Chain A
Amino acid sequence: NAGVTQTPKFQVLKTGQSMTLQCAQDMNHEYMSWYRQDPGMGLRLIHYSVGAGITDQGEVPNGYNVSRSTTEDFPLRLLSAAPSQTSVYFCASSYHRREDTEAFFGQGTRLTVV
């Protein structure tokens, strides 16, 4: 029962470097999303996707890109890392057919930008 799998679990980047956070789900969920979690700020939506080929911006999209070429995968790309992007990143997925369905979260990626 894999659920939502995020890799890597930890990452240290230098300012200006780029990287991709991976997210995969095996539940055939249409909806996938990326959040960042910062102390005292809760979870803030970065980008989301309602299906393959469809993505949209959330609350804090600047500095991040996403794509959704398959139902299973939803990678998050940091184009040029900045210290302000130091955070814990969570990927989530759910069915899109109804608003009341449960969102399943990955274990998170802890990113530090120095």
Chain B
Amino acid sequence: AQSVTQLDSQVPVFEEAPVELRCNYSSSVSVYLFWYVQYPNQGLQLLLKYLSGSTLVKSINGFEAEFNKSQTSFHLRKPSVHISDTAEYFCAANSGGSNYKLTFGKGTLLTVNP
């Protein structure tokens, strides 16, 4: 069965500092990977996704993630965070097949302090 591990439950950083949120997945087949963001008291929104092709994927607000097949990782990075990036971030995977079922990690709470 597919599993997704987010290695840090909380990551506090100062504004304008770089950040990396770590995600590892387990799968013996090809996998599609996603990062979702949840702002306080809201639903989840897709931040970025890896399907195939270039291993580096980027979002419109400066986040990027790199698919590393040998390390089974999909870490999320941003070179300079803002207060508004404070949110919970979820890594998710879908190993395909006949049903679309996302497996989520337990989430990482990113807190950006002034």
Binding site for B on A (CB under 8 A): 4, 31, 33, 35, 40-45, 48, 50, 56, 58, 90, 92, 94, 96, 99-103, 105-108
Contact = CB atoms under 8 A, between A and B. Distances in A.
Contact of B43 (A48, A50, A90, A99): A90
A48 B99 contact: yes
B57 to A, nearest CB: 12
Nearest to A58: B101
B104 interface: yes
Given A40-B9, A41-B106, A102 B101 contact: no
A47 B99 CA distance: 12
A101 B94 CA distance: 11
14 contacts: A40-B106, A42-B6, A42-B90, A42-B104, A42-B106, A56-B99, A90-B43, A90-B44, A96-B100, A102-B46, A102-B49, A103-B100, A107-B42, A107-B43
A35 B44 CA distance: 11
B56 interface: no
B94 A99 contact: yes
Interface footprint category on B: 20 to 34
A48 B9 CA distance: 27
B102 interface: yes
Interface string B57-75: 0000000000000000000
* SS of B interface (majority): loop
B45 interface: yes
A100 B43 CA distance: 19
B45 A105 contact: yes
Given A94-B100, A101-B100, A105-B43, 13 more contacts: A33-B102, A41-B106, A43-B102, A43-B104, A44-B104, A45-B101, A45-B102, A50-B100, A99-B96, A100-B51, A102-B46, A102-B49, A105-B36
A99 B100 contact: yes
Contacts of A44: 104
A36 B96 CA distance: 22
Contacts of A101: 100
